[in-house]
């Protein structure tokens, strides 16, 4: 579990939140917290996908590219063979 938070700590946090915001605002609070977690996960997934694509050399974003002389396809610099037609670069 992140931050090493156990059940007792969660209970303390819950009670403090309950006292600060009051029971009637809890659903609204939980909703916005859920939205924040969702956004965070989406951002993390986007970053992971971009990073993986970049490492594969299939990323659409910038960076140096080598043009294949045979098929004209774009490949990551440093690749020995074309990813499109398998010709030697």
Determine contact, residues 82/70, Cβ cutoff 8 Å. Answer: yes
Nearer to Zn ion, 29 or 83 (CB): 83
Nearer to Zn ion, 33 or 69 (CB): 69
Determine contact, residues 68/75, Cβ cutoff 8 Å. Answer: yes
Taking the complex as a whole, the smallest distance from the CB of residue 70 to Zn ion amounts, in Å, to 5
Taking the complex as a whole, the smallest distance from the CB of residue 65 to Zn ion amounts, in Å, to 12
Count CA atoms closer than 13 A to 23's CA, side-chain side. 0
Site for Zn ion in 27-86 (CB under 5 A): 68, 70-71, 73, 82, 84-85
Determine contact, residues 59/53, Cβ cutoff 8 Å. Answer: yes
Residue ranges that bind Zn ion, judged by CB under 5 A: 68, 70-71, 73, 82, 84-85, 87
């Amino acid at each position: 579990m992140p931050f090493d938070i156990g059940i007792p700590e969660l209970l303390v946090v819950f009670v403090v939140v309950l006292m600060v915001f009051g029971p009637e605002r809890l659903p609204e609070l939980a909703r916005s917290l859920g939205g924040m977690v969702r956004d965070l996960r989406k951002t993390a997934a986007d970053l992971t996908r971009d990073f993986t694509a970049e490492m594969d050399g299939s990323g659409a974003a910038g960076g140096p590219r080598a043009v294949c002389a045979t098929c004209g396809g774009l490949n990551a610099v440093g690749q020995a063979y074309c990813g499109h037609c398998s010709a030697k670069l």
